[in-house]
Structures are given as C-alpha cells and as structure tokens.
Chains A and B, each alone.
Chain A
Amino acid sequence: EADIYQTPRYLVIGTGKKITLECSQTMGHDKMYWYQQDPGMELHLIHYSYGVNSTEKGDLSSESTVSRIRTEHFPLTLESARPSHTSQYLCASSDAPVGNTGELFFGEGSRLTVL
C-alpha cells in the first residue's frame, strides 16, 4: 500500500485567494510529480522533482509553483486562485534508482474549486 498523502481532499475557495496543496510521502522516494486532471480527461504533468532542491515545470503550463525542501514533502502553491484553476490535482512519487522502471504511487488527489 502506497504511503503518499494529499491534503486537502476537497477545497472550495474564492477568486484571488492563495492556496497550498500539500503532498507528503513516507517512502523516501526521490522523484515526485504533480499532475492536473480535469473530469474525464488525461493527466497533464505540471511539475516534477528529481530530489531535494530540484524542481522542473512539466508539459502543461501552470501558474502554480512548487518547492522541494525535504525529500518527503512537495507542496504546490497558487498565489492567486482563479476559476480556471478548478481541477483535480494528483501528486505522485517514484523510486527508480536505476533506469526508469519504477511505477508511480499516487495520492488520493486534491479537488479544487475556485468560485
């Protein structure tokens, strides 16, 4: 069973608010990822990290930012939320010390609604 946790599970906020979606994993994985998924749609990579102090933007342009100060923690922040940010955000981690064999372990997701 995967040990990766996301909070909050559900969040409804007003436009302009600053929010942080938390993601923590207890598996010691180096690689962590944030995906954005709209209902019935594919997953789009918005951020990833190969380890502490490493962060990269993904394929989908996002106004969010991330940080990786500790191995186990990979929070995502929106400085000023807008209705276009309404979506589900999925955090994942992977442990692949050699090659690219490792599967991703996903959290339960954070469903954000911006009014």
Chain B
Amino acid sequence: AQKVTQAQTEISVVEKEDVTLDCVYETRDTTYYLFWYKQPPSGELVFLIRRNSFDEQNEISGRYSWNFQKSTSSFNFTITASQVVDSAVYFCAPKGGSYIPTFGRGTSLIVHP
C-alpha cells in the first residue's frame, strides 16, 4: 500500500501566477506510477499526468509541468500562468502493484481573477 502527503491544504493565487502543488509519497513497491488528478467544483475527477518510477525525467505539457525526485519521494506539480479555470482540488495518487491508487487529501487551489 502507498501513503500520500499533500501538506498544502489550500493555496490562493492571483491569475497568471505560477503555482506548485507538493506531493510526498511512501511506497514499498519497487515499480510504481504516480498520478495527478483534478477535481473541479462539478465533482468529477479528471486525470492530468502520469509518471513511472523508473523515469525521473521531468516534463512540461502546456502549462503543466512536474518535478519527480525519487530520492526524496516527491512528485510536485506546477501550473504556469494560472487561470481561474484552474481552480479545483488537486490529488496526487501513487499506484503500485495492486492496481489500486492511493489518494492524498488533496490541495484546494483558488485562482482569483
């Protein structure tokens, strides 16, 4: 089983600011995947990004980027030039060999116009 810590309960920014959401995980699996999901006010969780444990190359996808540091068990997610539509709760979710992801408590992001 995995354990996830999202220490930031709520983050409030003004539109166009960059914002980084932190995620620290624990797992006994040697191979695992890390996911970020977004839950807008409508309630439906939407998959954002995925990273496997043996590839620490950080990537950028549009306004999203992520920083995976296996040595510190962190998988941080950054939104560049935030927009009001980015306001949502963001969940970090590692998934190991059991095929069952573990969700953190989520970070509520509020982007003000």
Give A contacts to B, CB under 8 Å.
Answer: 31, 33, 35, 40-43, 45, 48, 50, 58-59, 88, 90, 92, 94, 96, 99-101, 103-109, 111
The answer to whether B33 touches A101 (Cβ under 8 A) is yes
A90 to B97, CA, bound (A): 22
For the residues of B in contact with A, the DSSP-based class is: loop
Quick one: given A45-B100, A100-B95, A100-B96, are A105 and B47 in contact (CB under 8 Å)?
A: yes
Closest to B4 in A: A42
A5 to B32, CA, bound (A): 28
Q: How large is the interface on B (under 10, 10 to 19, 20 to 34, 35 or more residues)?
A: 20 to 34
What are some 7 contacts across the A-B interface (CB < 8 A)?
A59-B1, A100-B31, A104-B35, A106-B45, A108-B42, A108-B43, A109-B44
A41 to B104, CA, bound (A): 9
The answer to whether A43 touches B103 (Cβ under 8 A) is yes
Quick one: given A43-B103, A101-B50, A103-B50, are A108 and B44 in contact (CB under 8 Å)?
A: yes
Q: Encode contact with A along B41-59: 1 for CB under 8 Å, 0 otherwise.
A: 0111111001010000000
Q: Which B residues, 82 to 109, have Cβ-Cβ distances below 8 Å to chain A?
A: 91, 93, 95-101, 103-106, 108
The answer to whether B99 touches A94 (Cβ under 8 A) is yes
The answer to whether B43 touches A42 (Cβ under 8 A) is no
Q: Which residues of B contact A103 (CB under 8 A)?
A: 35, 47, 50
The answer to whether A104 touches B47 (Cβ under 8 A) is yes
Closest to A101 in B: B33
A105 to B46, CA, bound (A): 7
Query: Shortest Cβ distance from A74 into chain B, in angstroms?
Result: 15
